[in-house]
Chain A
Amino acid sequence: MKNGIATAALSELTAEIAAQPAQGCVAYGVALNWRSGTRAEVEALPMRIGNEQVSRGLRWEIDEPRQLGGSNHAPNPQEYLLSGLGGCLMVGFLVGASVRGIQIEQFSIEVHAELDLAGFLGARAGAPVALGGIRYVMHVQAEAGDAVLEELRELAEAHSPNARTLAHGVPIHGALARTPR
């Protein structure tokens, strides 16, 4: 299959969701368990795709560098955020290229962002807490013109749930539950 993407199956899934909208509804979840300091173990919870419950069985760690009070044993939350964006853009780009019949020989993305720690730490009044912005560069080797590849990049960004979420923001609803002793 070109680029390892089954365009036939993608089209069949699209037709299924067009006919049965509930099949397009996906629910995700992760559970973080604090270990110590800035370290936590994260577990992917069962995912719901349409009418299917999908076991994930995946775990990973999260930490901060020593300079920020951690042990540097795992990527930090901002790096996971950026990789989540990069991975989402990658899927969109490869799907778009496969739909066009374009063979991708090599593909990588660098994603960068900055923030001012003064916001989190409250070191300076009015300092922003959020990232100042996110920049990414796609490095592509393919037999296609620059204009086509740029169009694929734009399509990938336009169809990326993570890019749309970060660009436009979504409400976050938090709650507290006391863990019984």
Chain B
Amino acid sequence: MPGLCKGDPRSKAPAVGSAAWVNELGRARRPGPALPAPLLPATLGSSTLSVHAGSHDDPATGAVGTPIYQNSTFVLGADQYRAIDQGYARDRFIYTRYGNPSQWAVQEKIAALEGAESALVFASGMAAIAASVLAMLDRGAHVIASRELYGGTYAFFHHELPSLGFEVSYVDPRDPNAVRAALRPNTMLLFFEAMTNPLLNLVDIAAMAAIARAAGAKLIVDATFVSPLGVRALEHGADLVVHSGSKYLNGHSDLICGAVAGSRKYVDRVWPRLLAYGGCLDPHACFLLERGLKTLALRMRAHQDGAIALANHLAAHAQVNWLRHSARADHPDHALAARQLRQHSGLVAFAVRGGDAAALALLPRLRLMREATSLGGVETLVSLPFNTSHAAFTAEQRAQIGIPPGCVRLSVGIEDPADLIADLDQALAHC
């Protein structure tokens, strides 16, 4: 169609050819990129944003919702050639690794939920983390990271970053003084998880952001365990927020994907890494993620309510000798949770009497809950840190970081809490 902008029509070309110098080029950053549609008011609630943000009816057919653009490439024209020539190719459709309407739709929804100017989706959470971290680093840079990282992230930081010439210091995520003490002149990045695994500790994002800002470093927060409904990390000062979208964002345990969101300035820096390392998300997977996100607000309320019910029940159970959930007053970060979390997640950690052997014996007795790694799905998943996420640690090392013997991690799904409680009770009765 002549005159059709195959991309974001709000993105204008710089005035190359008519400008005398850089100051006359006339292009400024703007949020996006996004498909042409009226922008939704920022005041809309999370449920409304979950449903409507980034969902664009097909103008050709009137089909409700964004179609699946299952194509690898796009018909090129003068506008796209100009975008390549002048360096704004992210705003035009050229090739699906660069951008695709199905990607843009779900990116717009994630950006709206995070209160971000821009977002990118990836083929996995680790693809999102790797691209985002590397985009924030320059030659010889130093990184400060939580010592309670997810295993995949730790492997990337511990094995890959040093091979690339970067140094990493690991600190207690709940100790701002330790973070300050770890700063060096070449520190470019602080990386923390909003909620840690499996202890479900919280990090004070605003405090970390203040430390990062004073040092001229960036702060990336992995908010996988809490979702944007739990915390909008950017509003607390994070520069970028990353997610394993396979967890709460998609929510159905049927998709591997990741995401990053932040200012257009910083997400534009991640985009070339997405291109170079190639972890783009297939359009059909984008559709699945966007469909999953439409119920995010509903699901997160059910996860939270179920987790609170289970946590309160388990706390009084004779077979349980340790328990964590951020809504409970006995959580060590309860005050921070009250200040920082908009709502709680569905994650509960508890320990059974009898240690790891008793915990191991518990899992096969569960009838509804699935003995599986991962989290954030509609079905309740249960796993043991000692033989999954922290299998590389000795029992003493696990004890040193606070993981008690018999520790069980529950990702409470959206089932009826009474049924889950009954399932746990019958399994614990055999302990």
Interface residues of A (CB under 8 A from B): 1-2, 5-12, 14-16, 18, 45-46, 48, 51-58, 95-96, 98-101, 155, 159
Q: From A100, which residue of chain B is reached at the shortest CB distance?
A: B17
B25 / chain A contacts, CB cutoff of 8 Å: 7-8, 10-11, 14, 99
Chain B 1-37 interface mask (CB, 8 Å, partner A; 1/0): 0000000000001101101111111111100000000
Cα distance A177–B21 in the bound complex, in angstroms: 43
B84 / chain A contacts, CB cutoff of 8 Å: 1
Do residues A52 and B140 form an inter-chain contact, with CB atoms below 8 A? Answer: no
Do residues A98 and B28 form an inter-chain contact, with CB atoms below 8 A? Answer: no
Cα distance A99–B187 in the bound complex, in angstroms: 34
Q: Provided the pairs A6-B87, A8-B88, A58-B139 are in contact, do residues A14 and B216 lie with their beta carbons within 8 angstroms?
A: no
Chain B 188-224 interface mask (CB, 8 Å, partner A; 1/0): 1000000000000000000000000101111000000
Do residues B87 and A56 form an inter-chain contact, with CB atoms below 8 A? Answer: no
Cα distance A16–B23 in the bound complex, in angstroms: 11
Do residues A55 and B85 form an inter-chain contact, with CB atoms below 8 A? Answer: no
B87 / chain A contacts, CB cutoff of 8 Å: 1, 5-9
Offer 20 A-B interface pairs, CB within 8 angstroms, sorted by A.
Answer: A1-B84, A5-B87, A7-B16, A7-B25, A8-B13, A8-B87, A12-B27, A12-B28, A14-B22, A46-B186, A51-B216, A53-B185, A53-B215, A53-B216, A56-B186, A57-B165, A57-B186, A99-B16, A100-B19, A101-B16
Cα distance A1–B87 in the bound complex, in angstroms: 6
Q: Provided the pairs A1-B87, A8-B87, A55-B142 are in contact, do residues A15 and B27 lie with their beta carbons within 8 angstroms?
A: yes
Partner of A55, one of B21, B24, B138: B138
Q: Provided the pairs A46-B185, A53-B217, A55-B140 are in contact, do residues A14 and B265 lie with their beta carbons within 8 angstroms?
A: no
**Chain B nearest Cβ from A70, distance in angstroms:** 28
Q: Does B168 contact A (CB under 8 A)?
A: no
Do residues B185 and A99 form an inter-chain contact, with CB atoms below 8 A? Answer: no
Q: Does B134 contact A (CB under 8 A)?
A: no
A10 / chain B contacts, CB cutoff of 8 Å: 14, 22, 25
Cα distance A55–B14 in the bound complex, in angstroms: 30
Cα distance A177–B117 in the bound complex, in angstroms: 47
B16 / chain A contacts, CB cutoff of 8 Å: 2, 7, 98-101
Q: From A54, which residue of chain B is reached at the shortest CB distance?
A: B138
Q: Provided the pairs A10-B22, A14-B22, A58-B139 are in contact, do residues A1 and B187 lie with their beta carbons within 8 angstroms?
A: no
Q: From A151, which residue of chain B is reached at the shortest CB distance?
A: B20
B23 / chain A contacts, CB cutoff of 8 Å: 14, 18
3 smallest CB-CB distances across A and B, nearest first, come from A57-B140, A6-B87, A53-B216
Cα distance A71–B297 in the bound complex, in angstroms: 70
A58 / chain B contacts, CB cutoff of 8 Å: 139-140
A11 / chain B contacts, CB cutoff of 8 Å: 14, 22, 25-28
Cα distance A1–B265 in the bound complex, in angstroms: 19
Q: Provided the pairs A15-B29, A55-B138 are in contact, do residues A155 and B21 lie with their beta carbons within 8 angstroms?
A: yes
Q: Does B141 contact A (CB under 8 A)?
A: yes
Cα distance A9–B90 in the bound complex, in angstroms: 11
Do residues A55 and B216 form an inter-chain contact, with CB atoms below 8 A? Answer: no
- By CB atoms of chain A within 10 A, which of B22, B142, B186 has the most? B22
**Chain A nearest Cβ from B90, distance in angstroms:** 9
A6 / chain B contacts, CB cutoff of 8 Å: 86-87
Q: Does B360 contact A (CB under 8 A)?
A: no
Partner of A54, one of B27, B28, B188: B188
Do residues B21 and A96 form an inter-chain contact, with CB atoms below 8 A? Answer: yes
**Chain B nearest Cβ from A138, distance in angstroms:** 18
**Chain A nearest Cβ from B182, distance in angstroms:** 14
Q: Does B137 contact A (CB under 8 A)?
A: yes
**Chain B nearest Cβ from A164, distance in angstroms:** 15
